A and B are shown apart, each in its own frame.
Chain A
Amino acid sequence: MDDSVEDNEQDHDIDDLEMQVVRYKPEGIDVLCRNTKFSRKELQIMYRGFKQECPTGIVNEDTFKEIYGQFFPHGDASDYAHYVFKTFDHDNNGSVSFEEFVMGLSVLSRGSLQDRLQWAFNLYDINGDGIITKDEMLDIVSAIYDMMGRYTEPMIDDSSAKEHVERIFKKMDMNRDGVISLEEFMDTCRRDENITKGMAIFDTVL
C-alpha cells in the first residue's frame, strides 16, 4: 500500500495539525486489476465516482455514513454504516482507502459463496473474536431495523429486534451454547436455500 501523506499547508501555528491535508494515492490500476476481479474499465468508473465524493482519496467514517445515508432516506443508516465501515476497514485505521474499498467490493460482488459468507460473519462479529454473541447480533439487527425508519407497517417496537434475534439463534445455534461460531454459521447458511440464493442477488452490473 502506498501511503503518502503530504503536508499541503504549512502553517506553524496551533492550527498546524488541522491544516495538514492528507492526500492518498492508490495503487496502480494494473495491480488492482490483478488483485481484484474487476476489469480495467470497471475500476476506472469506480475510481472516478470514489474520487468525486472523496477528493482526498480516502473515506472517513463520517463521509461514509453520509453517503450511505443518502440511499436510505427514510431511516437512520448510521449504525449499520458504522458496522459496514468497520468491516471494510481492514487495517482499522479509521479510514477506507480505494484499495480496501475495491477489494471489499470484489469479494462481495465477484467472490464465491464462501467468501461472502465469511464477510457477513465478519460483519456480525463486531469485536472480531470469532464468535457472534446475542448482544452483537442484537446490535446488528437493531441497526438494520433503524434503517427502515419510524413509519413502518407493522410498527417496529423494542421487542421486534429481540424476537428476531431469538429466531436467528434458534436456527443457527446448533449446540445451544448461546453463541454462534463460524462453522455453525457456515453450515446453517449453506443448507438454507434462501440464503444461498440471496447471496447472489446483489450483483450489480458496473
Chain B
Amino acid sequence: MGNKQTVFTHEQLEEYQDNPFRQRIAQVFSQDGDGHMTLENFLDMFSVMSEMAPRDLKAYYAFKIYDFNNDDYICAWDLEQTVTRLTRGELSAEEVTLVCEKVLDEADSDHDGRLSLEDFQNMILRAPDFLSTFHIRI
C-alpha cells in the first residue's frame, strides 16, 4: 500500500542509494579521512570486509564506522545518527531517544555515557550474526 512518488528531490535521491553507511565506510578507509581512496585503501577495505577477516579486526573497523564524529567514542549523537539512517527517519523522536538510551544501558559498562572501543567489542563479539552481515563479497 502506499503511494509511490515519481519525482524525487535531490535529498530523497540521496536516501535511495543503498547502504546507509556508505559515506562513513569511504571516510574510514581513506588515506586522509576525506573519502578519497587510493588503490591500497581500496584493497584494505575489501580485505577487512571479506569473509576471512578475523572478528576482532572487523569489530575495530565497525567501531570506527559508527563513530561519526571521529572522537574514538560512540556517543549518544552517533547513536542517533545511526538509528536515523537505519530507519530512514521512520521512527519518531522519542522512539529514537528510547532506543539510544537502551543501547547505552546495555553496552556501556563503565557508565560514562558513551561507548568506548572496549565496550563496543565486548558487545559485538557476542552477536551471533555480526560476521555474516558485516561482509562485502566481490
Q: Do A and B come from one complex?
A: no
